[in-house]
Each structure stands twice: as C-alpha cells, then as structure tokens.
Amino acid sequence: MGETPEILWSHPQLAAAVARDDWGTVFRTYRKLTGLSQTKLGERVGLVQPDVSDIERGRRRVTSAEVQQRIVAGLGIPGTLQEAGAGAAAGQTPVSGLALPSAMPDGDLMLRVAGAVDSSRRVDAATLDWLDRLLAEHRRAEDQIGSRPLVTVMRRQLDTVVDLYAGARGPLADRVVRLAAEHAQFLAWMAQDQDDTAAALSWYDRSHEWALEAGDADMAATTLNMKAHMAWSKGRADRCVRLAEASRWSAPGTSLGVQGHAVQMAARGHALGGESDEARRLLDEAQDIISRAAEHPEDEPVWMYFYDETWFTLQRGMAAMHLRDWHTAVDHLTVGLDALPDDYRRDKTWYRTCLAHALAASGESARSATVAMASVPDAADIGRPHSWNELHTTAAVLIRQGAKEGRLLIGLLREHD
C-alpha cells in the first residue's frame, strides 16, 4: 500500500464512517483506496472473507468491542478519528462538510394533506401555476449553487403548498397533492446530495405516497429511480437493480424519459456488481429509449429537464468506471462534459472529479492532476461531500501508483478544507 496512514485516513468518507461506527463503509472505502481484496483486508483485521462481505453489505453489524479493536489496529485508524467518533456520539458533528440542517418530514405534514387543517382559503389555478414556476426556478438554481442554500426555503415552500390543500376542491386538490409530491422529491434529492440518507429516504417515501394519491405515475416511478440511485451511491448493487426494476413494473404508463432512467439505473447496478454483459445490454436499451424520448420532449415531466443524451453519455462513463474500463470511461466523460452546459455547475464539478479518477486509474497521472486541481474550488464550494470524496479518492489512486501529483493534490485539498 503506497499511502501513508495520515493521507489515507484524511479521506472524508473514511473519517465520517469511522465517526459513526459504519464499518461496512469503512471496509468498502478502505478497499477502494488501497486496492485490497476482501480476503486481504480480512487478514489484517482477523476476519474471514465471508464475514468481510457480510459487513460490507450490511448483513452483519460489528457490535463486539474486541472485533472493533482488531479493525482499528489492523487498519491503523488514528486515535484522533476515534475521538471524533466519541464526539459524534455526544452530539457533535465530526466532519463539518457533512453537516445538514434537519430536513426530515414530520407527521404533521401527512395530517394536513389529509385534510386535518381547517382553512377557508380558496385555491385557484393561477396560484398553483405560480408555485409550479417557482419550483422550476429553484430546481435550476440548485444546478448552479448546490443544495445547501435551498433546503430551508424549500421546506417552507412545501409547508405553503400543503397548507393550501384544505382550501382546494376537485381537480385543484389533486394538483396540490401532485405539487406536494414534487416538492418532497426535490427535498429528498437535496438530502441525498448532502449524504443525509435517512432524510432522503423519508422524503422519497412521502413523495411516492403523495404521487400515488394524485395518480402521478411518472413521479411514483421517479422516486423509485432515485432510491435506486441512492443504493448505487452506497455500493448496494443488488438493491439498485431491484428498485430500478420495480420502477418499471409498478408504475406502467410512464414517460419514455422516466422509463429510460429506470433502465440505465438497472444498468449501473449491474455494472457496480461487475456484470458487464447485462450492464451493456441495458445501457443499449436505455440509449434507444432516451433517443425516442428526445423526439418528443413535451411529453416528459418537468423535473426530467436535465435528462438527455448528454446526461446519458456521462452515465455510460460512470458504468464504465465500475467495470474498470478506464479508457472507455475517460472517453464518455470527456465527451459528456464538453457538451454539458455551464449552467450545470454542480454536475460539471461531479463529473470532472470522476474524470480525474478515471484518468488516474488509466495511468494518465499528469492529466488527472490537472483536471482534479482545477475542480477543487468548485468541489469545496458546492461539491461536498460527493465531489470532495472523489477528489480524495483520486489522490489516493495517484499516491498508490507512486505519482508525485497525488501528494500535490492532497496539499491543495487541505488548503481548501
């Protein structure tokens, strides 16, 4: 292993996982950074390979103090990180970059949308049209400035929408519920973007229920697609595939764009699991669906505005990374980034950090470092935690290869921390 312990454990995803005793994420991230197999990692911590696999997949929890001590000693976890974990248990935030204002849905929202609030206010179509436009503007703003500045204002906006329900009648009542589902989905995405899994899952569940109540198949399927995306981001390939498949069979009649989203999510799940043939077959199927969707963009729900062939090219790059087809990943990510408008600042930051990782893994250390270092300011500003973690991963790959650029990148990341 080429990394020194200090540099390895400076990776924010590792630090956060230790702080919350999430040993599955510790194992997965440690192996990703070091290139160790499950067997070799098990030898370091005194566990057999099946036990390491179960811990990584969440099938087994590490509750024994003796096993935890073996993990700490075997992986060389610094004492400062363990102290941070104790601080987290006492209510302190171990990694400031992962802090997020509380965004969990409360039970009162469901009561209010079910009609528990007595209101004499009448709702008209013009008011709902205005709220539709406002939500669309906030979605586009989030592409540019990231999710953090919008969490509080979007929660208040959802409160406003829900409070309108008691004064709505007939088709307008259905529109209010549909609008509430869209707001909840957006809040879920923002929580997911900040790696707040519990809040994201709760908001997706709330959005899914409201979408079903409003008869909105596209939103119901979208929430399952986004849950699949969350499973993929957590390294849970099987769950990603199952949720994407559920999106297809549980919500028939969805738009071509939503269907294509489900198929490509299933493809990425298979790629994550190393199933190259199935991943490529589904990517080709998704490509066909998305091409047909592009012929009639007016048929797509408003929240799918970002979903086009450029975005899909970037997803092909992500799948290629999981399949360790690094040169193909570089090609797709480069083409996609060249076509992605600057309005998508958050996404451009993310995909640039992925490109830096793919370049490092393909042996192009100098080009990787150039792309990575240019991404640091935006990653520090709007790309935490995901882009920030990817830059640390890129640095670890470069250092493992003995490239001097890795330590230069680590130094720059520390300057912006």
CB 51 within 8 A of CB 24: no
Task: Report the alpha-carbon distance of residue 266 to residue 268 in Å, rounded.
Answer: 5
Residue 73, pLDDT score: 87
Residue 89, pLDDT score: 44
Measured in whole angstroms, how far is the alpha carbon of residue 213 from the centre of its chain?
27
69 vs 223, more confident: 223
Residue 33 reports pLDDT greater than 80: yes
In whole numbers, what is the pLDDT of the chain averaged over residues? 87
- 295-311 burial, b at 16+ Cβ within 10 Å, e below that, comes to eeeeebbebbeebbebb
The tens digit of pLDDT for each residue in 91-111 reads 443 332 222 334 566 555 555
Residue 107, pLDDT score: 54
Residue 360 reports pLDDT greater than 90: yes
Q: Which two tokens stand for residue 78?
A: 């610094």
Q: Rounded to two decimals, what is the model's pTM? A: 0.81
Residue 145, pLDDT score: 93
Task: Report the alpha-carbon distance of residue 40 to residue 150 in Å, rounded.
Answer: 44
Residue 152 reports pLDDT greater than 60: yes
Residue 63, pLDDT score: 84
Q: Cβ neighbours of residue 168 under 8 Å, at least 6 residues apart? A: 123, 175, 176
The tens digit of pLDDT for each residue in 327-356 reads 999 999 999 999 999 999 999 999 999 999
Measured in whole angstroms, how far is the alpha carbon of residue 94 from the centre of its chain?
20
Q: Which two tokens stand for residue 2?
A: 């080429």
Question: Would you place residue 64 in the very low, low, confident or very high pLDDT band (cuts 50, 70, 90)?
Answer: confident
The tens digit of pLDDT for each residue in 103-132 reads 566 555 555 444 433 444 567 888 889 999
Residue 116, pLDDT score: 34
